[in-house]
Structure 1
Amino acid sequence: MTFDYDLFVIGGGSGGVRAARIAASEGGAKVALAEEFRMGGTCVIRGCVPKKLMVFASGFSQMMEDGKSYGWDIRQNGFDWPKFKTHLETELDRLEAAYRRNAQNAGVTIYDSRAVLKDAHTVVLADGQTVSAKHILIATGGYPFVPDLPGRDLAMTSNEIFLQEELPKSILIVGGGYIACEFACILNGLGVEVTQFYRGAQILNGFDEEVRGHIGESMIDSGVSLSLGCDVMEMEQQDQGIWVKATSGKDRHYDAVLYATGRMPNTTGLGLEDLGVKLGRRGEILVDEWSQTSVPSIYAVGDVTDRINLTPVAIREGHAFADTVFGGKKVKADHTCVPGAVFTQPEYGYVGMTEEEARKDHSIEVYATAFKPMKTAFAGRSDRVLFKLIVDAETRKVLGCHIVAEGAAELIQLAAIAVKMGATKENFDRTVAVHPTIAEELVTMRTPVRTA
């Protein structure tokens, strides 16, 4: 059978674009890609990149305050959101153009259109055009979830927060995951009055318990009004703003409400179930270790599979797919010991197991320290950093490393190399400290604070 393309990719995010580029440039495949919104996907257009730029912007308020303690005569005139937003949009346009250019330079044909599946080898574009391909890759990512409650249409999500014409004076953020906590810190740093509701007992569910408490306290100390065990019952637009009825009885008006209550795999309406592509409980596409679905010609990578929802993982999955199917080499994406970061303030960097995970199957030693860093202690701030190593008591391997500190994401990237290689606690101990740094604590903690 003759096909229009060797590969058709649905989704122009990081995973889909990487797969398309490698299949075309290194695998010699004839490749097409369809993207219904903007090239770059969630990470580039409405996720990691604009969020991190907002993190940078929000950090300057505290930085300038600290500068006064270091002798600088600094005068603040407030944050200019329209100026920042204009610059942000220019940068996102540049990145989107780069994604498009790199794919096209590799020989990928791009359709600026929604695409859905007609059969195992055919997609239908929004204008009705049908295109056939020997292989189809689904890389449509995820979308923010907002629960069904009265007034839900009044809430924005992380997709829309970058589109505001002006910053609200007050905002309610609903959710306790990393996206909710990151935006609570960002907006607080930009001068917005931030209230955060989370229905659970502590924010950042699934992360290390000790870290969760540390970050929660830090957020409260920085000015975020955090209400745990609290949720929204209904919302209503009134003259004074959005009226929110809370389960805790803390009813009030806010200028804006942001829901960050998780993301769902973006599989609705693609025609997957009609073809026999198996989906999971949350709508995620079920794939094997080669990212292949229950229909042999159809594959999926990235957040739509709900494995590890991180951009670098999607890129690895897309590359491994292209190598396997078009590069003549069998490559599996490695989902073990994946490092990550939460861009709260301070940041949280992690790799490997949490203490709670490690306790299940290992006898462990926990090395941890928390202290005031020199930089901010000199400025009179009371914030504390946290360093934590979880060690297998028998093999001595470092099972997990957790850092809460300014620049933790940069630090964990380097520490992750050692942990991924199987470094032992003694390898860490034999490494000479770089002084004076906060990171020297990684190699100077000698006595466990607890064992299990």
Structure 2
Amino acid sequence: MPQYDYDLFTIGAGSGGVRASRISASHGAKVAVAEEYRVGGTCVIRGCVPKKMLVYGAHFAEDIEDAQHFGWTIEGKSFDWKKLRDHVQNDVTRLEGLYTDTLQNNDVTVFDERATISGPNEVTLASGKVVTAKYILVCTGARPFVPEFPGSEHGITSNEAFHLDDIPKHIIIAGGGYIANEFAGIFNEFGSKVCIVNRSDQLLRGYDESLRDRLLQISLMKGIEFKFNTTFKSIEKQEDGRLLVTMQNGDQQLTDQVMFATGRVPNIEGLGLDNVGVEMGDGGAIKVDEYSKTNVDSIYAVGDVTDRIQLTPVAIREGQAFADTVFGGTPKTVDYSFVPSAVFSHPPIAAVGMTESEARMKLGGVKVYTSDFRAMKNVIASRNERSLYKMICDEATDKIVGIHMIGPESPEIMQAAAVAVKAGLTKADFDDTVAIHPSMAEELVLLK
């Protein structure tokens, strides 16, 4: 039997890599991890965690305004972006330390440098050190895609948005997905004039059409501008530092900042995957089987670097399943059905299961139940912003196949509702559940 330096060598210490490494070590494996940037990966360092903190900060803009309707007088209000930015980055550093401690407390060796695959069982570190491992796990995640055109180098991505010196007075955001809509809401609440430029005429592809339309309506009411069916032709930096953006349709706008939120691409460049013949799929994602194994028996991959669902909790599940399968003696796969998701827009969206159009195409006969209402808080605050809850049921079985929500705290409510949908409950099961009154969540058991 060949002898290796490690049982497992993980490349990338993001959510999936940390979970896989920690659990593998708990199963008795000798594990090492290489991370060239910061332990924690996209989610913790430059993704969902710091973004959610900015979302919280942005919400105070409306909360302070609404407070006067509830009897509060708030004088001398002001917003300090640098204070929020620095608080967020301090907490990111705290979380990075916790993730590092987790690995070290489980006797996982951490190399703070880049690693490349130099053989089926061999990894070469940036320092030149060569180590061997029985298994190699690739968890390098993905990065923002930046389109190439004259002047595209003047734009930023979500990575840089967390470190801006100042909030731009005007910002153009390219893209129509969740990152574009989330940052549009954030910057709008912080006082920026926001314009979203999208190559199609739809926002948030994959979400139910009713929710997409509602978010567009509310975003327009909040003052966010939209330009559909066009892309960027060029960006020219002006003498005063502003950017002149020219669209393919001929429109021009002067702006302080351009942000690209046009999708993400797997981080596979220079990893050495071609050295060992690892197969790649469309867009450069690593192709894996149901156990996260590539076509090379000793090499696995989990998370956003693969061609599956790009969500942090999914990467964590994949990392756990990998460790249990390879080192725990209990083969496990990840069930990708009924994976809930959220968009932390203003207001947020949450969804699980099939959209109405998907259900009609797949099932034929469906029943749709909706509740279109104003949250009590918005009524008192004289805020004309309506929530929408939608339940999709299989007409033949009464089983719930999809729930879609837009409104305050929708992601928090959806987490529990997703359990019910995953468990295969019916509309009757929801109807038989007594409501918690008064609450927004009670609408789910009162749908007609």
Q: Which bin holds the TM-score, normalised by the shorter protein? A: over 0.9
- Runs of at least 4 residues off by over 4 Å: none
**Residue matched to 2:402:** 400
**Residue matched to 2:196:** 196
Q: Distance in 1 between matches of 2:274 and 2:282?
A: 13
CA contact (8 A) 1:174 1:261 kept: yes
Pairwise CA distance, 1:271 = 1.2
Describe the SS at the equivalent of 1:160: helix
Superposed CA deviations along residues 64-91 of structure 1, whole A, max 9, x for unmatched, are: 1100111100135331011111111110
Describe the SS at the equivalent of 1:186: helix
Name the aligned partner's letter for residue 325 of structure 2: T
Describe the SS at the equivalent of 1:234: strand
CA contact (8 A) 1:273 1:279 kept: no
**Residue matched to 2:181:** 181
Describe the SS at the equivalent of 2:79: coil
Describe the SS at the equivalent of 2:350: strand
Q: Distance in 1 between matches of 2:83 and 2:362?
A: 52
Pairwise CA distance, 1:250 = 2.9
CA contact (8 A) 2:366 2:394 kept: yes
CA contact (8 A) 1:18 1:318 kept: yes
**Residue matched to 1:450:** none
**Residue matched to 1:419:** 421
Name the aligned partner's letter for residue 331 of structure 1: K
Pick aligned residue for 1:375 from 371, 374, 377? 377
Q: Distance in 2 between matches of 1:32 and 1:359?
A: 48
**Residue matched to 2:82:** 82
Write out aligned runs for 1:336-415 (5 A): 336-362=337-363, 363-415=365-417
**Residue matched to 1:305:** 306
Q: Distance in 2 between matches of 1:269 and 1:366?
A: 49
Pairwise CA distance, 1:370 = 1.3
Q: Distance in 1 between matches of 2:82 and 2:186?
A: 16
**Residue matched to 2:94:** 94
Asked if residue 232 in structure 1 is aligned to residue 239 in structure 2, the reply is: no
Write out aligned runs for 1:52-201 (5 A): 52-201=52-201
Q: Distance in 2 between matches of 1:300 and 1:316?
A: 13
CA contact (8 A) 1:202 1:216 kept: no
CA contact (8 A) 1:193 1:224 kept: yes
CA contact (8 A) 1:178 1:342 kept: yes
Q: Distance in 1 between matches of 2:229 and 2:218?
A: 18
Superposed CA deviations along residues 305-347 of structure 1, whole A, max 9, x for unmatched, are: 0311100000000000000000111111121111111000111
Instruction: Give me the CA root mean square deviation.
Output: 0.9
**Residue matched to 1:444:** 446
Q: Distance in 1 between matches of 2:186 and 2:197?
A: 16
**Greater mean deviation of Cα atoms: 285-294 or 216-225:** 216-225
Name the aligned partner's letter for residue 108 of structure 2: V
Describe the SS at the equivalent of 1:73: coil
**Greater mean deviation of Cα atoms: 132-141 or 76-85:** 76-85
Q: Distance in 1 between matches of 2:404 and 2:207?
A: 10
CA contact (8 A) 1:390 1:401 kept: yes
CA contact (8 A) 2:207 2:351 kept: no
Describe the shift of the 1:372–1:423 C-alpha distance in structure 2 as closer, same or farther (beyond 3 A).
same
Q: Distance in 2 between matches of 1:134 and 1:199?
A: 46
**Residue matched to 2:12:** 11
Pairwise CA distance, 1:369 = 2.0
Name the aligned partner's letter for residue 335 of structure 1: Y
**Residue matched to 1:329:** 330
Q: Distance in 2 between matches of 1:53 and 1:76?
A: 23
Q: Distance in 2 between matches of 1:330 and 1:396?
A: 34
Q: Give the TM-score normalised by structure 1.
A: 0.97
**Greater mean deviation of Cα atoms: 257-266 or 366-375:** 366-375
Describe the SS at the equivalent of 1:201: coil
Give me the identity figure in percent: 49
Q: Distance in 1 between matches of 2:163 and 2:441?
A: 37
Query: What is the total number of aligned residue pairs between the two structures?
Result: 445
Pairwise CA distance, 1:440 = 1.3
Q: Distance in 2 between matches of 1:79 and 1:131?
A: 50
Q: Give the TM-score normalised by structure 2.
A: 0.98
Name the aligned partner's letter for residue 40 of structure 1: G
Q: Distance in 1 between matches of 2:235 and 2:443?
A: 47
CA contact (8 A) 2:281 2:307 kept: no
CA contact (8 A) 2:117 2:275 kept: no
Describe the SS at the equivalent of 2:156: coil
Q: Gaps spanning 5+ residues in structure 2: where?
A: none
Name the aligned partner's letter for residue 55 of structure 1: V
Describe the SS at the equivalent of 2:367: strand
Q: Distance in 2 between matches of 1:405 and 1:77?
A: 26
Superposed CA deviations along residues 231-282 of structure 1, whole A, max 9, x for unmatched, are: 2111011124011001343312111100000001111111112311100010
Q: Distance in 1 between matches of 2:318 and 2:296?
A: 18
Describe the SS at the equivalent of 1:159: helix
